Copies of this chain bind each other. A is one copy, B any other.
């Protein structure tokens, strides 16, 4: 029995987009109502590893997610598989020497390196890894932007996870979505000192799912129409420029304003949608207070469809920001795996050295609303890996 296999990793970009994706002009094709920009996060901290196998002996397509068999029946997943098989079939029809594997069934095995309990949605990394792994298995020659369109059909923001660094999702204009794709704004190497601290905020329970939330916003918010027509297109160009200029102040300003604008249109939906909770709001105020304290913009917040805060900063300002963050959140999980006791002690000392000058109130209980902190940075796109989750028979390794 011949089993062909391939593996890839793909990065998380969820919760770190700097211009938000919200609203669909086409539900089936995941076509957005506005272009968006994201920062891809380092896979040391947050990644999906996906291995795929195909064989003429497999009776059906199968998926194992984090050790558990899951259904592949969703229309979105089926659309991805169909597109990938079609592209493979094209290749096979042009080159008789290629093995005819496009009609064989697939086994897909996928694992995240972060706990589901972290509260980070993983569909972006998940669909990106699935599509990239199969594209690799099929040896598809298409450029990454073409592959991004297939990932997009699985989960809109997944299209952005096929690139590393700084990524734009151009909304496109065509009805069939053939021009709605991800492109690289700048690679990781262009601006590699951008870091991110993710504060995973405790939520009461799962809030409005993003898919139904988007529809409500598109259909009911007056302000949303203005946002997509007038606010976002201008900000999209400014944001790209700020990345190309490595202008953190500008980047931070646009990121924070766009996060607020996005959540404003959620609130303007009817019935209103709330993702920010009181803890989120206190973090927003904290970031503004820290920037004010230093007299310059050293940190920026952004929030996706949930209460988790992503705080961006540049590496050279880390101790400026962590003197505050470690003071307030030292009790939450996530520091020790990343920093030595000595470094953490230095953050404490830094805080002690400035505390007399602090004019704003630090909330001693703020950490109670936060489950953990994930300290990460801008990262690469999907990576080839020798690690494999499937055995020689094409089944999950025990």
Whether A281 sits at the interface, judged by CB under 8 Å, is yes
| CB nearest to A284 among chain B residues | B272
Q: A221 vs B267: C-alpha distance in the bound complex, in angstroms?
A: 15
- Chain A: number of interface residues, binned into ranges: 20 to 34
The answer to whether B267 touches A267, judged by C-beta atoms less than 8 angstroms apart, is: yes
| CB nearest to A204 among chain B residues | B278
Most B CB contacts (10 A, CB to CB) among A226, A269, A284 go to A226
| CB nearest to A277 among chain B residues | B278
**Minimum C-beta distance from A231 to chain B (A):** 5
The answer to whether B274 touches A281, judged by C-beta atoms less than 8 angstroms apart, is: yes
Whether A356 sits at the interface, judged by CB under 8 Å, is no
Whether A318 sits at the interface, judged by CB under 8 Å, is no
Whether A83 sits at the interface, judged by CB under 8 Å, is no
The answer to whether A256 touches B270, judged by C-beta atoms less than 8 angstroms apart, is: yes
Task: Specify which chain B residues have a CB less than 8 angstroms from the CB of A257 in the assembled complex.
Answer: 270
Whether A230 sits at the interface, judged by CB under 8 Å, is yes
Whether A45 sits at the interface, judged by CB under 8 Å, is no
Task: Specify which chain B residues have a CB less than 8 angstroms from the CB of A221 in the assembled complex.
Answer: 264
Whether A288 sits at the interface, judged by CB under 8 Å, is yes
Tell which of B265, B278, B284 touches A223, judged by Cβ atoms closer than 8 Å.
B265
Whether A261 sits at the interface, judged by CB under 8 Å, is yes
Task: Specify which chain B residues have a CB less than 8 angstroms from the CB of A267 in the assembled complex.
Answer: 260, 263-264, 267
> Hey, what's the 0/1 contact readout for A247-285 against B, CB within 8 Å counting as 1?
000000000110011011101111110100110010011
Q: Which A residues lie at the B interface, using CB under 8 A? A: 221-223, 226-227, 230-231, 256-257, 260-261, 263-265, 267-272, 274, 277-278, 281, 284-285, 288
A to B CB contacts below 8 Å, 24 in the list: A221-B264, A222-B230, A222-B261, A223-B223, A223-B226, A223-B231, A223-B264, A223-B265, A223-B268, A226-B226, A226-B230, A260-B268, A260-B270, A260-B272, A264-B264, A264-B265, A264-B267, A264-B268, A267-B267, A271-B285, A271-B288, A272-B284, A277-B278, A278-B278
Q: Apart from A223-B261, A267-B267, what are 8 other A-B pairs with CB-CB below 8 Å?
A: A222-B230, A222-B261, A256-B270, A260-B270, A264-B264, A271-B285, A272-B284, A274-B281
